Structure 1
Amino acid sequence: MTVPDDASQKSTEEIGEIVSTLHDAGEGHSPSVRDIIKRLGQASFGALLLVPAMIIATPASGIPGLPTVCGLIIALIAIQMLTGRDHIWLPDWVMERRIDGDRFERALDFLQRPVGWIDYLSRPRMTWLLRWPMVLPLQLVCVFCGLAMPFMEWVPLTSSIAAIAVCLVAVAFIADDGLLALAGVAVAVAGAAAFIQLAGHMIAGVFG
Structure 2
Amino acid sequence: MSDTSSPSLETESATGLIARLQEIAEQAPEDGITLAEFIEKLSERAFGVVLFALALPVCIPFLYGIPQVIAVPMLVLAGQMVAGFNEPWLPEKFAQRRLGKAGLTRMARWGKRWFGWMEALARPRLLFMSGPTGERVVGTFFCLFCASILVPLPLTNSAPGVAIVVASLGLITRDGILILLGTLWGLAWIAMLAIGGPALIYAIVDALRGLVGGGG
TM bucket (normalised to shorter chain) is 0.7 to 0.9
Contact 2:83 2:136 in 1 (8 A): no
Same amino acid, percent of matched pairs: 21
Q: Deviations over 1:143-197 (max 9, x none)?
A: 111122111xx21112110011011111111000000011011111122133332
Q: 2:169 aligned with 1:188, yes or no?
A: no
Provide Cα deviations, 1:30-87, integer angstroms capped at 9, x if missing partner.
222122122123422210111111121124x6223x3233221222112212222223
Number of aligned residues: 190
Cα deviation, residue 131, structure 1: 2.3
Distance 1:87 1:21 in 2: 23
2: CA distance, partners of 1:157 / 1:82? 26
In 2 relative to 1, CA 93–180 (structure 1 residues): closer, same or farther, beyond 3 Å?
same
Give the residue type in structure 1 aligned to 2:63.
G
TM-score (norm 1): 0.79
Q: Counterpart in 2 of 1:20?
A: 22
Query: What corresponds to 1:45 in structure 2?
Result: 47
Q: Partner of 1:62: helix, strand, or coil?
A: coil
* DSSP-derived class of the 2:158 partner: helix
SS at match of 1:13: coil
Which residues of 2 match residues 131-146 of structure 1 at below 5 A? 131-146=131-146
Indicate the RMSD between aligned Cα atoms, in angstroms.
Answer: 2.4
More helix by share: 1
Q: Gaps spanning 5+ residues in structure 2: where?
A: 1-11, 203-216
Q: Show the counterpart of 1:62.
A: 63
Q: Distance in 1 between matches of 2:30 and 2:69?
A: 22
Structure 2 length as normaliser, TM-score?
0.77
Which whole-Å CA distance do the structure 1 matches of 2:40 and 2:55 have between them? Answer: 18
- Equivalence for 2:198: 199
Alignment of 1:1-208 (within 5 A): 11-24=13-26, 26-59=28-61, 62-64=63-65, 66-151=66-151, 154-196=152-194, 197-200=196-199
Q: Deviations over 1:82-134 (max 9, x none)?
A: 22222322122212212232233123222212342123331111112222434
